[in-house]
Structure 1
Amino acid sequence: MKTGKVVLGLLAGVAAGAILGILLAPDKGSNTRKKIMRKGEGYVDDVKEKFNEAIDAINDKYKSIRHGAEDLVADGKMKFEDAKNEVKKATL
């Protein structure tokens, strides 16, 4: 939820900046549009980078949880085998 608010705030800031840039621009319209496009590309690159960082963090967390689950399953199998062997010893 927190990331969604950050992205929404970022998009709102970009839109507000673009509107103010157009209204207060001392250059010709074509020059202003080019400047806005360059800035927009920079923001897009930043958003892509943040998105990739979030995906990497999620993948790392997934791998960590998966390895923990695999270890837990292996431990459970080992305990089951130990208990099975104990039962066999007790019945003999």
Structure 2
Amino acid sequence: MSNSSNTVVGLLAGTVIGATLGILFAPDKGVKTRKRISEEALHARDKIVETASDLTEQVASTVSSKKETLDEQLEDVVSNVSHKAEDVISTLEKKLKELKEQNKKLQKSA
């Protein structure tokens, strides 16, 4: 997890703990206190779900971006290798042609 993710999780946990302690120590009836704790727990759950969803989207976006970059780099490498292979083949063909000509000259002189 990144530092910002850890910070968000820490803030959420601190908020939940603080709200719960505040409710527990407030001078209220048990029924009201339990209701407030329940409401705060539901609110915290919603926040955690929202944060998890945001983190999931960020990770998916980052992975997608990195995959596209990797695909582009791989395509460039393949293209460069293909061009280099063509250059090598062309050079070998020229060299073969020169050797054939030298061979013809040697056979005529022999």
Counterpart for residue 24 of structure 1: 26
Q: Which amino acid aligns with 1:4?
A: N
**Percent of matched pairs sharing the same residue:** 16
Q: Give the alignment's TM-score, normalised by structure 2.
A: 0.75
Is 1:40 the counterpart of 2:41 in the alignment?
A: yes
Instruction: Report how far residue 14 of structure 1 moved.
Output: 1.5
| Greater RCO structure (CA 8 Å; 6+ sep) | 2
TM-score under structure 1 length normalisation? 0.88
Unaligned residue ranges in structure 1 (runs of 5+): none
Partner of 1:72: 73
Structure with higher Rg: it is 2
Aligned to 2:82: 81
Q: Which runs of 5+ in 2 are unaligned?
A: 94-110
How many matched pairs?
A: 91
1:62 CA drift (Å): 0.3
Q: Which residue of 1 aligns with 2:11?
A: 9
Q: Which amino acid aligns with 1:39?
A: E
